[in-house]
Structures are given as structure tokens and as C-alpha cells.
Amino acid sequence: MKVMTRIFWSLFVFCLAMVPLYGIWNNWAELAGPIALLLTAFMMALAGWYLGVTEKKFTNAPEDDPVGEITDNAGEYGFFTPYSWWPLWLGLSCAILFAGLAVGWWLFMIGVVIAGWALVGWVFEHYRGEHAN
């Protein structure tokens, strides 16, 4: 994680340094480029800050060991759903939402209802609590 933190902070410094250089190179004729670079710098700072804070909570990762092997990082990464139909319904509902912006608000509201149903279904897909079906 240390390497990733340094990479993001380096990208922050680079993008922040490019804001005035890009503006000078362009004679400040348009502001979209410097603003985009500034927002990108802030996104890099956010990712670097998050990784730095998270790094303090965990022990050294295998990729931080200079003499580490690739096999040191082997093992289970977590639980992942092997298949799920909910992203399909969520994607279709987003398509209905965007079509509703062009066609009419009645279609948009139908898309909101379907999107809410699909999102709740996807979030609680593996819920095995007290009120599970």
C-alpha cells in the first residue's frame, strides 16, 4: 500500500503543477483544461489520503516487502458472487431512466421504481438475517 500511496501523491503533485503550466501554454483562453486538471489533482489526493490512512490500520502488505515473492500474496481475497441477475435488471432500469429523460417523465418514474427494486435486490442478495425470504 505504501507504493500505491506514493503513486497517488505523486500524481497529485504532477497534476497540480500542470494546472498553471497548461493555463500559461493556452494563454488562459479556455478554463476547462485547468479545472479538469485541478479536479483530477484533488481526486488523486483523495485516493492517496485514503490509502495512507488505511495503510496505518493494517500490517505490511506482501507487496510492501522488498524481498517478497509473488506467491506471498496468494490466498482468498473475499467472497464474490459467482453469478447474479440483479446487475442486468439494474442496467435495464438505468436504460429506462435515460430513455425517460427523452420520452417523458412517466417513463422516468417507471424506471425509478424498477431501479429501486433492482438495487434493493442486489444489495440484499445474500442477506440471511431474521427477515430473509
Q: Residue 93's pLDDT band (boundaries 50, 70, 90)?
A: very high
If one counts the domains in the chain, the total is: 2
103: containing domain: 86-123
Residue of higher predicted confidence among 1 and 114: 114
Residue 81 located in a structural domain = no
- The pLDDT score that the predictor gives to residue 107 is 97
% of the chain at pLDDT higher than 70: 96
Residue 52 located in a structural domain = yes
Residue 77 located in a structural domain = no
Residue 39 located in a structural domain = yes
| Arithmetic mean of pLDDT, 46-54 | 95
DSSP 131: T
Residue 76 located in a structural domain = no
Is residue 85 pLDDT above 80, yes or no?
yes
54 plus 9 within the same structural domain: yes
Residue 72 located in a structural domain = no
Tell me, rounded to whole angstroms, the distance of Cα 2 from its chain centroid: 20
**Residue 19 near residue 35, CB atoms below 8 Å:** no
Which residue in 39, 51, 31, 32 sits closest to 15, CA to CA? 39
How far apart, in whole angstroms, are the C-alpha atoms of residue 21 and residue 11? Answer: 15
45 plus 92 within the same structural domain: no
| Arithmetic mean of pLDDT, 68-94 | 87
Does pTM top 0.85 for this prediction? Answer: no
Q: Residue 34's pLDDT band (boundaries 50, 70, 90)?
A: very high
How far apart, in whole angstroms, are the C-alpha atoms of residue 21 and residue 43? Answer: 19
